[in-house]
Amino acid sequence: MPLRRALYTESPSEPALDTPAEVSIPFPAVKQAIDRAYEKPVLLLDADIIRTKCRRFHAAMPRVHPHYAVKANPDPRVLRTLIEEGCGFEIASISELDLLLSLGVPAAEIYYSNPMKSRAFLQVAAARGVEWYVVDSLEELAKVVSVKADAKLYVRIDAPNVGSDWPLSGKFGAHPSEADDIIAEAARLGADLAGVTFHVGSQCRNPENWRVGIESAKRLMRKMRLMGLNPRLLNLGGGYPVQHTKAIPSIEAIGAVITRALEDLPPSVRVMAEPGRFLVSDAGWFVCRVVGTATRAGKRWAYLDAGMFGGIIETVEGLEYNVLTDRQGAPTSWCVAGPTCDSVDIVMRDQLLPEDLVADDFVYIPNAGAYTTAYASQFNGFPLPEVRFIS
């Protein structure tokens, strides 16, 4: 069984739903890789699939330049693959900045998209050559300008998150009147407020969110020009979904909506986006093992050697993975927990798994290349998962 899949070459003629089989590592190849060696939980990644997703994103919306959200999976091999594909990058911390700089990414091409940055982090980023910084409040605008007066700034505005599995509005994003105040203050300070960004929510299954966000950004850019500013960046943020258990719009369907919304945007405005999950999730399988099972109050429990502290944390927020095992028993409802002594370490409830699941069985989770190892910690002394590339 080959370990690689053919690279994506062209967009389908009609928008379609993504499926894991479209880009996922074949299951027999996953088993083959695990059979060779298993010492602890492992994330298997295929660089060819990362390339496929990058090229497919570009094909779906040629005007939009992808800047990978490093937080999704900061493994240096992932980043090198994306560098080779011509991707840019966005960061949330100095550690992510240093990692990119060590790989030769020019600081001037890195976008600091965390709306809340410490003064110390801003000073380091400015000293190392970062030029682009997001703001979403008057306080953050003043802070950034006080550290780097010539910073290129982009304002993050609140945008609809309807139809997203994880709405992100509330914590960040300026509301209309607040955005107006930021524009006015930037003009007063002589700051280079150069663009607008928004986020439609993680795993967004409603393409209209992007259209609404783009229309709001264009209106704000008109206000910026009236105030004497020079808007030249539109950042479409992240949220591009991947297939798990829910139907999703394909990237081609999303791209069609975005492309139409950009038709009247002046060519002088650079358009970028911050895909994270979309570029790396399908490239990975997370594999762990059953430590033991138990029956409590008539409920079956399976304890894994990886839980919410070891890479399977997003299920706690509602993400539903397709979970596979080697067993053929009748599906029955299980509670699935991690190995730590913390009672919050329960990652799935009422998960259908074979009734004959026992200790030492493998558990396979496809489409898990994003936000698994990136979230993992060594809480309770359990090891971090291994990251292994099969191509």
pTM of the model: 0.92
- In a 10 Å sphere around its CB, with 0-12 CB exposed, 13-18 middle and 19+ buried, how is residue 25 labelled? buried
For residue 1, pLDDT beyond 60: no
Output the pLDDT for position 391. 82
Distance of CA 24 to the CA centre of its chain: 17
| Cα end-to-end distance, the chain, whole Å | 13
Query: What are residue 66's phi and psi, to 5 degrees?
Result: -75, 130
Query: What are residue 252's phi and psi, to 5 degrees?
Result: -65, -40
Report pLDDT digits (tens) over 24-75: 899 999 999 998 789 999 999 999 999 999 999 999 999 999 999 999 999 9
For residue 16, pLDDT beyond 60: no
Count of beta carbons in the 10 Å neighbourhood of residue 26: 16
Report pLDDT digits (tens) over 346-367: 999 999 999 999 999 999 999 9
Mean pLDDT of the region 156-161: 90
- Using CA atoms, how far apart are residues 286 and 30, in angstroms rounded to an integer? 10
Q: Does an H or E element contain 65, and which?
A: strand 64-69
Output the pLDDT for position 3. 35
